[in-house]
């Protein structure tokens, strides 16, 4: 038996999928490890901002999509650890963004840098962004001693009034939630700061208004364990008091489905439906690896002023199903689960220490474009793609170093087989697609 055929058979006959590994799943919606998502919709496009896992980095992750199905990684000029540094910022990274469009049409970002909150402003979701307060934070780390000054989330009322909610605990113990009204500049406090802490509050406050009621949602538990979850409380105004209904929490771990510690979410509405956008652990769950992934499911508010329990899924709602796919192909590799690179599922990836990944298009076919989604969108990858008609004689198609997701190779060629190699010691690919 030829080696090429043997590798293909081994790939097809490998272990059967467990929950989350099925092909064509809509969740996760992004190819990579991201947490604490925030979303804005502008001019028919979606812009998603998130923490780079593990535990943040020198900047944020940002993605753009025309349809909520197909996402492209974008590099922001701000926030950065260098641009958001103060005597009180500490050593922790950039994380937990919240982005909103204000009544004045501008976009405002509230982001945790270390143990404090910085504010940015831009005319467009992709920037250019700049510090809204010069070289000082909006909320410094000692603003409320004994608690983390992180996870600031903005809420814009129907009349354009802005509100800000933030706060977390220390040592994985429940914290406090503070709220303040914002002036029209969206970066000045309009009045005193209020303690609006609901029951079972740890971090990640989100304010949502539906049917005249105010829903203060938050996360509690420990994100690196399996008990992180989403609670909510209800009030009659932005400052409460907020009462937690009996059906809270509404989004929790489901071990039978391989869905672990969903939380730190946002809520958005599109085409008349509400959705909850959140992170949960990558598959398989490994408490030593903080590699969370962004997912979305439907959120339903009831006529009597409650939120129904969320059913977290791997399939995702119709909003995310039906991503574009390339030419049909089977995959083989020198090692690892090659099939994961062509299964249209961002919960699975092909990974290997060196070696090669190969696609078989089934026959000699002409193509003009390839899209490769490497494990980390912000890291540079040096790689080579070769092409062959018979799997024996190869010629180099491209050799380059690139960052981003997808990494796009625009080059017309024809062949049956494509082979990807790289000098990376630990190479991983979420998906590799070829287009005519």
d(CA 134, CA 131): 5
The closest of 403, 432, 429 to 75, measured between CA atoms, is: 403
Which residues lie below 8 Å from residue 188, measured CB to CB, with a gap of 6+? 182
Which residues lie below 8 Å from residue 190, measured CB to CB, with a gap of 6+? 180, 181, 182, 183
Which candidate in 36, 116, 343, 386 is catalytic?
36
Q: What is the DSSP string of 242-260?
A: -B--TT---B--BGGGTB-
Which candidate in 203, 297, 371, 431 is catalytic?
203
d(CA 394, CA 9): 22
Angle at 90 between CA 89 and CA 96, to 5 degrees: 65
Active-site residue, 22 included: no
Phi, psi at 361, each rounded to 5°: -80, 0
Active-site residue, 203 included: yes
d(CA 435, CA 371): 8
Phi, psi at 250, each rounded to 5°: -115, -5
Q: Annotated catalytic sites, by residue?
A: 36, 203
């Amino acid at each position: 038996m030829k080696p090429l055929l043997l590798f293909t058979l081994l790939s097809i006959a490998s272990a059967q999928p467990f929950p989350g590994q099925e092909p064509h799943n809509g969740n996760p919606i992004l190819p990579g490890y991201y947490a604490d998502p925030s979303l804005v919709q502008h001019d028919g496009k979606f812009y998603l901002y998130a923490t780079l896992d593990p535990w943040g980095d020198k900047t944020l992750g940002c993605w753009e999509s025309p349809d909520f199905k197909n996402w492209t990684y974008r590099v922001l000029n701000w926030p950065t650890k260098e641009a958001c540094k103060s005597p009180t910022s500490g050593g922790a990274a950039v994380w937990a963004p919240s982005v909103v469009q204000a009544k004045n049409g501008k976009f405002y970002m509230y982001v945790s840098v270390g143990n404090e909150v910085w504010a940015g402003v831009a005319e467009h979701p992709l920037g250019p962004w700049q510090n809204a307060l010069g070289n000082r934070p909006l909320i410094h780390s000692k603003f409320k001693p004994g608690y983390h000054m992180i996870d600031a989330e903005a809420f814009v009322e129907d009349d354009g009034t802005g509100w800000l909610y933030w706060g977390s605990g220390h040592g994985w113990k429940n914290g406090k939630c503070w709220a303040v009204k914002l002036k029209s500049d969206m970066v000045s406090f309009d009045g005193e700061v209020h303690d609006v802490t609901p029951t079972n509050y740890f971090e990640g406050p989100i304010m949502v208004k539906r049917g005249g009621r105010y829903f203060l949602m938050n996360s509690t538990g420990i994100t690196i364990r399996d008990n992180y979850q989403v609670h909510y409380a209800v009030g009659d105004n932005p400052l409460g008091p907020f009462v937690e209904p009996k059906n809270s929490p509404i989004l929790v771990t489901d071990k039978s489905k391989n869905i672990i510690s969903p939380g730190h979410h946002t809520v958005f509405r599109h085409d008349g439906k509400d959705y909850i956008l959140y992170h949960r652990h990558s598959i398989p769950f490994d408490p030593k690896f903080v590699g969370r992934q962004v997912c979305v499911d439907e959120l339903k508010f009831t006529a009597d002023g409650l939120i129904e329990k969320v059913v977290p899924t791997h399939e995702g709602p119709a909003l995310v199903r039906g991503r574009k796919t390339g030419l049909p192909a089977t995959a083989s590799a020198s090692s690892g689960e090659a099939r994961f690179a062509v299964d249209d599922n961002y919960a699975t990836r092909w990974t290997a220490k060196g070696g090669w990944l190969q696609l078989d298009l089934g026959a000699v076919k002409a193509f003009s474009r390839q899209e490769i989604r490497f494990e980390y969108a912000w890291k540079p990858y040096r790689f080579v793609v070769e092409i062959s008609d018979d799997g024996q004689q190869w010629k180099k198609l491209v050799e380059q170093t690139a960052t981003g997701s997808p990494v796009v190779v625009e080059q017309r060629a024809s062949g049956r087989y494509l082979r990807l190699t790289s000098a990376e010691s630990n190479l991983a690919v979420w998906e590799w697609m070829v287009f005519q």
